[in-house]
Structure 1
Amino acid sequence: MTKTTIFPQFFSSLVFFPLVMVLFVTFGLTGFAGAVEIQKVTSEKGIEAWLVEDHTVPIIALNFSFEGGSAQDPEGKEGLTRLLAATMDEGAGDLDSEAFQARMEELAVSISFSTGKDRFYGSLRTLTPTLTEAARLLAMAVNEPRFDADAVERMKTQLSAQARRNESDPDAIAGRSLAESMFASHPYARPTLGTDETINGLSARDLSVQHAKIVARSGLTIGVVGAIDAQTLKSLLDDVFAPLAETGELVAVSDLEPEFGKEVYQELPVPQTTILLGLPGLKRDDPDYQAAYVMNHILGAGTFTSWMYEEVREKRGLSYGASTSLSPYRHAGLLIGSAATKADRAGETVEVMLDQFRRMATDGPSAEELNSAKQFITGSYPLRFDSSGKIARQLVALQNSDLGIDYFDRRNSEIEAVTLDDVKRVAKRLLAEKKPTIVMVGPKQG
């Protein structure tokens, strides 16, 4: 059983039920006096999980993920994995949707599923007195989802309505246009939600096939936080995950180099123009990732202190905010800039943002800016661990990125080790002589 440590923090639950709120009031949320151990636990049947054990409050958060997300949607069936996430807790085993949901509410248990491009996610939140029954419900949802016709149709109706709303939402249109422009025919270009047409064409049979394809032991990662010991966790892991097939039937997804330099404008009668700029980024395993993370904080992720915020909002009043973010997918990396402004100032806003990219590539930040960024990044890191749910998600994310069980110990020292030369080097690598893909969605511009 392998152990490492993370910072002192506060645990809280993300379960939104009255009984849990009573427990918050009764027990309080007290800080820990020492570091918290991360244990690597392996069950009798070979299921592995990372565990942070704490008995301060009788609450358990369990997060997990499977390899294969919406990039596994077959062409013409976009939205299938998203519908799978919406239906796996809508009846399972011998319980139909109404009975399953009623039982969760009765026990103050939360079970949910979601998907990204590369992975499929699930979570459980429960009190320790109801752990046995919560694990039974989770095992049913993971292994025996029913996909009853009425439940599937209800979820399809909800997702279709959301897809139709996205057809007139400038942010959704801009995001979809950017993905289509940069990812071309790659599965990443397909909308995770799907479209009204593709969602309505999905069937219970499609869901069963996709479930068998994705929900398997191979590639499974699990993070657990709360009032549970390793031995109890081992039994839970075997009860929930051991019945799964060893491997699924994933379709190979290739790496890609996103296409840049395109300009896309879509007219939409809305008050403002939404702007997205797409540039090369890095995948998470790139040796330059931490340097790029610090660089991006200075460029546009640092909110009130970033160059984008200062130049676009503070100096010129072009937008309420402008920012940049790194998006490290498994098969590609992006750096995305975003802002929203008046239609007649959209061109000016884009130019100011491009100026910051050029400035970062040419000059880079000052030593003072670098030190300030590193202090903020390292000082704010414990905020990622102020709830059991956040910690459980972080444990899963570390496994998915293969960062190692000791990453929490190493992370701040890696940030501290980033030098001014590192930031300038990665800025040139990502930004120098690069022409971004520019997407603008908004009213007609004179």
Structure 2
Amino acid sequence: MKYWMIVVLSLLLALPARAGVEVREVTSPGGVSAWLVEEPSIPFVALEIRFRGGASLDAPGKRGATNLMMGLLEEGAGSLDSQGFARAAEALAAQFDYDVSDDTASVSARFLSENKDQAIALLRLSLVAPTIDETALERVRGQVLAGIRSDAQDPNAIAGRAFDALAFGDHPYGSPLEGSAETVQALSRDDIVAAYRGLLARDRVHVAAVGDITEAELGTLLDHLLGDLPAAGAPMPAPVQPMLSGGTTLIDYDTPQAVALFGHQGMARDDEDFFAAYVLNTILGGGGFESRLMEEVRVKRGLTYGVYSYLVPKDLAALYLGSVSSANDRIFEAVEVIRAEWARMAAHGVTEEELTRAKALLTGAYPLRFDGNGAIARILVGMQIEGLGTDYIATRNARVNAVTRADVNRVAAELLRPEGLHFVIVGKPGKG
């Protein structure tokens, strides 16, 4: 392992798990806002930058352009080629990561305080002056195509693609953000540049910094790093209503174990009942071995190693999803047990004992998320994206504890739609 990586990892591991963090809002002289948790005890800074829009900004027929563009940001910038950029980052003991989801594009930076100015200057090059040269484009395109070919043989990926297509059709949510082999092959450098210009803009950026940096230093950093980005990016896509109806879609695929992805419409993150839905899901399928689905499908009947449910409040739509895998000759039985448990909770709600246990799980595990500067920075940016206040960390557990059994049971009756569950099954269902 490279020396700089050992230094950075040792700093990360030295940070205590903590939820009692003080979050301050900072506005740069140029008007860029960010959230800051100042922690000067260790000479290390984590910076998280997130651009709203993500891969959903792909133009029609250009699916995969944003994903490919994000993969090119560190493949040469300014006068540096790909290897030169990597060597410069290594020499500074800096680490940069670029990622994309349907709703956001993320840039994560980790650097030592003593190298702050040089690290930010290098990161800035990747954001405002990426070269996007043809050689790097073809190399990254090949990597993306290899991933697409791999996903084409992965039952879980097959199920996910089919489910998304059923739910969202021609909306960007309806296809993989990586694109298809056909769309990725057809992308030109001009398409990548258009995706870059449409996404990396100041009107959709959210920033968090955690570590050895002051408010004044952060303000100066923000203007230098982001001040030359365009003021506005491409228009955001319109919200979409999931087009799901109850039923089952079977995809014949030769695999020893069938997999199923299931779900229906969910709940938006800003809904006043979201905390009740969150507790509800913990009891139903989000609480690991403590959940009802795990008890009924795995423990009692031995139909699976794992079954889970999860709320998916995207920016432009909300789903309530679940997943399970089982032997081909038993997957239909697992599906029926899930439907029955969905209906039972909708009709009869939860017990007081289940509610108490779920609250203890959710509140007890929450501080463990704050296990380093990088994790805290990611949480803070996520809070901004979701429209939460800087006091959320301090009040979150109280909000969980405020949920009553009556709240959960009311939401269960409204949210859970057993007749609307759609299952996409990939495998040889019914065959031993």
TM-score normalised to the size of structure 2?
A: 0.96
Q: CA distance change for structure 1 residues 336 and 17 in 2, over 3 Å: closer, same or farther? A: farther
Instruction: Give the superposition deviation at 1:118.
Output: 1.6
Instruction: Give the superposition deviation at 1:175.
Output: 0.5
Partner of 1:154: 139
Q: Is the 8 A contact 2:17 2:371 kept in 1?
A: no
Partner of 1:430: 415
| Alignment counterpart, residue 74 of structure 1, candidates 53, 59, 72 | 59
Distance 1:254 1:377 in 2: 30
Q: CA distance change for structure 1 residues 444 and 252 in 2, over 3 Å: closer, same or farther? A: closer
- Segment of structure 1 superposing worse, 175-184 or 289-298: 175-184
Q: Is the 8 A contact 2:168 2:240 kept in 1?
A: no
Instruction: Give the superposition deviation at 1:159.
Output: 0.4
Tell me if 1:299 matches 2:284.
yes
Tell me if 1:56 matches 2:41.
yes
Instruction: Give the superposition deviation at 1:62.
Output: 0.5
Instruction: Give the superposition deviation at 1:32.
Output: 8.1
Letter in 2 for 1:162: G
Partner of 1:194: 179
Distance 1:266 1:334 in 2: 21
Partner of 1:142: 127
Partner of 1:352: 337
Instruction: Give the superposition deviation at 1:373.
Output: 0.4
Instruction: Give the superposition deviation at 1:136.
Output: 0.5
Distance 1:181 1:288 in 2: 27
Partner of 1:399: 384
Instruction: Give the superposition deviation at 1:433.
Output: 5.2
Q: CA distance change for structure 1 residues 36 and 260 in 2, over 3 Å: closer, same or farther? A: same
- Segment of structure 1 superposing worse, 336-345 or 428-437: 428-437
Letter in 1 for 2:117: T
Partner of 1:420: 405
Q: What are the residue-to-residue correspondences of 1:76-95 with 2, within 5 Å? A: 76-95=61-80
| Alignment counterpart, residue 206 of structure 1, candidates 165, 168, 191 | 191
Instruction: Give the superposition deviation at 1:351.
Output: 0.5
Q: Is the 8 A contact 2:258 2:429 kept in 1?
A: no
Instruction: Give the superposition deviation at 1:30.
Output: 5.4
Q: CA distance change for structure 1 residues 28 and 401 in 2, over 3 Å: closer, same or farther? A: closer
CA RMSD, 1 decimal: 1.8
Letter in 2 for 1:92: A
Q: Which runs of 5 or more structure 1 residues have no equivalent in the other structure?
A: 1-15
| Alignment counterpart, residue 385 of structure 1, candidates 364, 370, 375 | 370
Distance 1:73 1:109 in 2: 30
TM-score normalised to the size of structure 1?
A: 0.93
Partner of 2:428: 443
Distance 1:163 1:77 in 2: 15
Partner of 2:167: 182
Partner of 2:306: 321
Instruction: Give the superposition deviation at 1:428.
Output: 0.9
Q: Is the 8 A contact 1:264 1:438 kept in 2?
A: yes
Q: Is the 8 A contact 1:272 1:442 kept in 2?
A: yes
Q: CA distance change for structure 1 residues 432 and 67 in 2, over 3 Å: closer, same or farther? A: closer
Tell me if 1:273 matches 2:267.
no
| Alignment counterpart, residue 372 of structure 1, candidates 357, 370, 376 | 357
- Segment of structure 1 superposing worse, 100-109 or 397-406: 100-109
The alignment covers a number of residue pairs equal to 431
Instruction: Give the superposition deviation at 1:112.
Output: 1.7
Letter in 1 for 2:274: Y
Q: CA distance change for structure 1 residues 377 and 32 in 2, over 3 Å: closer, same or farther? A: closer
Distance 1:170 1:144 in 2: 39
Distance 1:301 1:18 in 2: 39
Q: CA distance change for structure 1 residues 118 and 24 in 2, over 3 Å: closer, same or farther? A: closer
Distance 1:441 1:27 in 2: 40
Instruction: Give the superposition deviation at 1:173.
Output: 0.3
Distance 1:165 1:26 in 2: 35
Residues 20-74 of structure 1, C-alpha deviation per residue, up to 9 Å, x if partnerless? 5246658972548994311111111011110111122211110111121111112
Letter in 1 for 2:200: V
Partner of 1:165: 150
Q: Which runs of 5 or more structure 2 residues have no equivalent in the other structure?
A: none
Q: What are the residue-to-residue correspondences of 1:35-50 with 2, within 5 Å? A: 35-50=20-35
Distance 1:377 1:267 in 2: 38
Distance 2:275 2:307 in 1: 22
Q: Is the 8 A contact 1:283 1:331 kept in 2?
A: no
Q: Is the 8 A contact 1:279 1:434 kept in 2?
A: no
